[in-house]
Amino acid sequence: MRTTAVYGSGKLGASDRANIAQRPELAAPFQVEMLIVWLIFAFTVDIVEHIAAAKGGGNSVKLNLWR
C-alpha cells in the first residue's frame, strides 16, 4: 500500500474539512490525516500477514513491528 499524498479531509470521498472542523476529536492540526496514515499502515500489515498465512500456512510468521 502506498499513499502519494494523504488527504483526510476532502479527497477520495472524505468530507470537506469545513464539514468536520468543529468536531473536538478532530481539532488538532492534521489529526484526521495522521489517523488515516496509521489506518493504512495497520491495514497493510494485516493484509501482508493474511497473504503470508494463506500462501505459507504453518510456515508463515507475524511481522514484529510493534516493539
Identify the pLDDT of residue 51: 96
List, for residues 6-25, the tens digit of each pLDDT value. 555 555 556 666 777 788 87
For the question of whether the overall pTM of this predicted structure is more than 0.95, the answer is: no
Upper half-sphere CA count for residue 7 (Cβ side, 13 Å): 9
pLDDT tens figures, 28-59 = 777 777 887 888 888 989 999 999 999 999 89
